[in-house]
Amino acid sequence: MGADGRPELQFATKKRVTQPPTHFADLTLEERQAKLKELGLPSFRAKQLSVHYFQHYTTDPALMSDLPKERREELVEAAFPTLLTEVKRLATDDGATIKFLWRLFDGSTVESVLMRYPGRITLCVSSQCGCGMNCPFCATGQSGLTRNMSTAEILDQIIQANRVIAEGGLGGLRPGDHAPERVTNIVFMGMGEPLANYKRVMRAVHRMVDEAPEGLGMSARNITVSTVGLVPAIRKLADENLPFTFALSLHAPDDELRDELIPVNSRWKADEAIDAAYEYYAKTGRRVSIEYALIKDMNDHAWRADLLADKLNARGKGWVHVNPIPLNPTPGSVWTSSEPAVTRMWIERLEAKGIPTTLRDTRGKEIDGACGQLAASEA
């Protein structure tokens, strides 16, 4: 806390931190080829190794029969240093949601959440160890920031999730599924503020959509990047030339409350964040999502729904969609989610003003895997 008694933001750690060793996923295919040449091997081996990792989801040398037997161990050690080690896995009773706790090379821990829906499989990924934004209703924000995750650490969450899916960890196909054999959708709504780790997150997004075997060959339209409102970084997003979905975690339309709920609002006000979100839409044509955690007697008043709708409509029509999210409980918090009747009223007021609004279907609450609950606890 600062001298004024308010939460302090952490945009960077105070001590120097070490990043993990370079991994194949940190590199472009051309850079991988150069690395293999340094090891005295022909460049085509880089493509073979990339196929094993990005398409077969393996780093097991015993499964790489197309590589020289006498050098497999050496190649795997050079290309695929261990990034994430599974510490714990929790699943919901229906088996459709799994929360993973990962230990990183330096002992830091992060979590990711795998969710099966009809016709798609979504992974909520982390981008930082902890978070420096200090939002008081979020368990991750209360843990503080340790360091940024590397591009490969972000991507390895997907690779390991795909391996679990391939092994039947989500229970196989269910009625209504269209044979998704891997993660199809990504949401950067795990631990950390993605735009505070801009370069590594964007490299990871590009690697997700790069054609296999350079990357995962995913659809950019199925990737959502979320932020609490780092305005300069929002303005850079449109220049990435990728049609991913941008989501602004607003949580209050007025600065008086948002200053309390989202400390970064002391630097960039609500209207500045909304303006930047609209600029993203204007440049890309991609509709923006507004995330809004409904907190009982805190931000769920009828007048705040009206104010939010008016502010969004003032920028134009058809550019935005609002996702109210019932607040998920966190340890020691005195706040709770809005009453169902209040939630319905709030949505109805937005819709009455022409704002498309959909209540978020949150998953994993019973395993502390829902929005705002990730704390990387080993307990």
Q: Which residues are catalytic, by number?
A: 111, 371
Report d(CA 322, CA 190) in Å as an integer: 19
CA-based torsion, 142, 237, 268, 279: positive or negative: negative
Report d(CA 367, CA 89) in Å as an integer: 10
- Is residue 106 within 8 Å of residue 100, measured between CB atoms? no
End-to-end CA distance of the chain: 26
Task: Provide the 3-class DSSP secondary structure of residue 283.
Answer: helix
Residues in the chain: 379
Report d(CA 158, CA 154) in Å as an integer: 8
Report d(CA 235, CA 219) in Å as an integer: 22
Give the CA-trace dihedral at 251, 148, 362, 118, to 10 degrees.
Answer: 130
303 by Cβ neighbours in 10 Å (0-12 / 13-18 / 19+) ranks as exposed
Instruction: Give the pair of three-digit tokens for residue 240.
Output: 């990435």
Instruction: Give the pair of three-digit tokens for residue 114.
Output: 């795998």
